[in-house]
Amino acid sequence: MSAWKWLAPRPGNLRVWQVGLLVALFVFWHLMTTPGLIPPLMFENDKQAAFFFGEPLIIFSRIWRWFVTEGDIYQHLAITLVETLLAFAIGAGLGLGGGLWLALAPMASAILEPYIKALNSMPRIILAPIFAVWFGLGVASKVALGVTLVFFIVFFNVYQGVKEVSPVVLANARMLGASPKQLLRHVYLPSATSWVFSSLHTSVGLAFVGAVVGEYLGSASGVGYLIHQAEGVFDINTVMAGILVLTGFALALDGAVGRLERRLLKWQPRSGETEKL
């Protein structure tokens, strides 16, 4: 019983459980796709599973070759990361500014609301070919697509966060003589900050989506280009390797956003601290 308590998930061994689950998933993947290890479950022979899902050992060897042996992925990865970071920064900045402006300008919000909802309801992935025509097949078209994906996520979260500022807090600040700039800095922005970071965590993945989809549809470089080339020759191992590389860098960028969030929101109690109180 004591051994089970030691192994049971808890904050102290949470990382061990997370890594263990990841290892278990890759082991299961390896067993299901390696010819001859176990009988096929859904396929006519044991080679079909490897064809459709790839083989983890080959995928990891390909990633090792990309980064260590040959080092030929760095130029592609650099382009994708530049496109992602630019789309993330520009989209988040425009969403933050637009959300604050419309939340504090009721008349402008009332006029533009139907147009904003119409643009948000548009499946923006279909804009990729249009951006390729407008901006060419370089970085600009990928950044433009990523901006359209990031902008609305941040915009609506900021807009809602500012709208939910307590009227009592606003009234007290105005009674104390706070100017509009002071209200923006000390009331509106702190109220919207948690909403902003919540949207940024979602926007990280969408920025990668914009960059990769743009490269997939038309490009001569980038990780999306490598994935597209591999799909053309049914090389599922290279496709999976590209997906894992993109996932790893997306998690790294999300982790950077999380560290910035913890640094800027020190004044907010964490969930564990709230429960203790």
- pLDDT attached to residue 108: 86
Contact 199, 158 (CB under 8 A): yes
Q: Please tell me the distance from the alpha carbon of residue 118 to that of residue 132, in angstroms, as a whole number.
A: 22
Using CA atoms, how far apart are residues 79 and 36, in angstroms rounded to an integer? 40
Q: What angle do CA 143, 89, 92 make, to 5 degrees?
A: 105
pLDDT at site 273? 47
272: Cβ contacts below 8 Å, ≥ 6 apart:
11
Q: Which of 127-131, 141-145, 191-195 has the highest mean pLDDT?
A: 141-145
Whole-number percent of the chain with pLDDT over 70: 84
- Rounded to an integer, what distance in angstroms lies between the CA atom of residue 107 and that of residue 264? 32
For residue range 137-165, list pLDDT tens digits in order: 888 888 999 899 999 888 888 888 777 77
What CATH number labels 69-268?
Answer: 1.10.3720.10
Which of 59, 62, 37 has its CA nearest to residue 47?
37
Mean pLDDT of the chain, nearest integer: 79
Please state the pTM of the whole predicted model: 0.77
Query: Does residue 27 or residue 42 have the better pLDDT?
Result: 27
The domain ranges of the chain are 2-53, 69-268
Tokens of 231: 């799909």
Distance between CA atoms of residues 59 and 33, nearest Å: 12
Q: What is the mean pLDDT of residues 122-132?
A: 84
Q: What are the CB-based long-range contacts (under 8 Å, 24+) for 26-30?
A: 26/56, 29/53, 29/56, 30/55, 30/56, 30/57
Q: How far apart, in Å, do the first and last CA atoms of the chain sit?
A: 31
Angle at alpha carbon of residue 223, lines to 142 and 196, rounded to 5°: 55
**Which pLDDT score, from 0 to 100, does residue 42 have?**
55
Answer yes or no: is pLDDT of 274 > 50.
Answer: no
